[in-house]
Structure 1
Amino acid sequence: MKQRFWAAITAALLVTSCASPYGKNTLFGGYSDTRIDDSHYLVRFDGNGNSSQDRVWNFWIYRCAELTKEKGYAYFALERSPGKTSSARQIEDQILALREGGDETRLMPTKGASYVPIYIPGSTITTWHTNAVVSMMGDPLPENTVAFRAQAIIDQLDAYIKSDGKVAPPSRDEIFRNAVVLRKATPATGFSGTL
């Protein structure tokens, strides 16, 4: 009986002493991918009580990009849930607001993260979680599409991920500016490029 008690205390101390690593979801947190169809996955990242909201978000968006590349696609868009895609015009307006100094959270059709307070006698631990449906696309992007270039996100966050958060990541604004691609049709020609 005493051994179980001390094993439980030791496990609890281990969980609360380290931030969630980048990897599949375990007792310490991590990502999970749920296949919806060949080009749609629900990607979730769960942090533990030592993982900041930014850490969880960076690990999550990196996993979205990494999974997109693993499945053979170059671009991805985020949906709130299956069948509830934000229109290209709504996302374009959000990107333009961001570029003009607007609130960065308006870019993401998802909230980005939620917190779950966990009660431990004498204290409360806040954990962060984020998820969205990742809609993967290849070249050429369909007209009137706003998407993220998966490789651009991987390139920007690779050092941060590999250092387990010891290297400072770029800001979300910078990540968005370097990774968002808009393909908008015009009467004469179509435009495709990084914003």
Structure 2
Amino acid sequence: MNDRQKMGGGLAILTAFALALAGCVSATPYQPDIPGQRVSGGYSETQLADNRFRVSFSGNCLTSRDRVEGYLMYRAAELTLEQGYDWFLILDRLTEREARTYVHPDPLYRPWFGSEYVYWRPHWRYYREGLGWRTWHPERGNPFWTERVRVSTIEEFEAHAEITTHTGPAPADEERAFDARRVIADLEPSIERPAGGGGGMC
């Protein structure tokens, strides 16, 4: 691989990394998940029966798991009130994590022994916390040149819950049952909406 090819490969990786960050201007606010928004992600729901719904919230790469799960809970409560009910029961819940790792080589790095001997380099393995054992081959460098490489990991979380909605007081002996108005009141101070967004339901 010549120097021009190396530089092209490095730029391709940087371009892919930049595209992955394109929807990460800021953390996903509390908003419906609509394509083409300035900040990607948001809530969505599917009605499965008269009082049964699947609620989801997806966050971008700047949105923490806690925020995604909190916004999901808030949307479940908000949806319950919108449908004319008082409390909801969580039947099932799942949080998915998507992680993409990018390696950014220095396209201008030149080994002291010359690029024509690039295939002379042996293969090495090293341990990176959170990633486990990694292998570096001649085209990507090895532990002696790890200072020439930066590893970036992008995480995105999406949470889902299946709920049923009900009227009257929530049963005190059911830990999966939540009073919708209580949830709204508790979580409202932590809800960040898009610029110009309105307040929450009461």
TM-score by length of 1: 0.57
Match of residue 21 from structure 1: 29
The higher-RCO structure (CA 8 Å, 6+ apart) is 2
Match of residue 154 from structure 1: 184
Q: Secondary structure at the match of 2:23?
A: helix
Q: 1:59 aligns with which of 49, 56, 71?
A: 71
- Please give the residue correspondences for 1:1-195 in structure 2 after superposition, counting only pairs within 5 Å: 13-26=21-34, 28-80=40-92, 110-111=93-94, 113-120=95-102, 122=104, 123-139=152-168, 145-146=174-175, 147-162=177-192
Give 5+ residue unaligned stretches, structure 2: 1-15, 105-151, 195-202
- Native 8 Å contact 2:31 2:193 kept in 1: no
State the superposition RMSD in angstroms.
2.7
Match of residue 175 from structure 1: none
Q: Secondary structure at the match of 1:62?
A: helix
Deviation at 1:144, TM superposition (A): 6.6
Q: Give the letter for the 1:126 counterpart.
A: E
Q: Deviation per CA, 1:97-147, whole angstroms, max 9, x where unpaired?
A: xxxxxxxxxxxxx35x22111344542211111111011111266797551
Runs of 4+ in 1 over 6 A off after TM superposition: 8-11
Q: Give the letter for the 1:118 counterpart.
A: R
| Count of paired positions | 127
Match of residue 192 from structure 1: none
Q: Greater helix share, 1 or 2?
A: 1
Q: Percentage identity across aligned positions?
A: 33
TM-score by length of 2: 0.55
Deviation at 1:26, TM superposition (A): 3.4
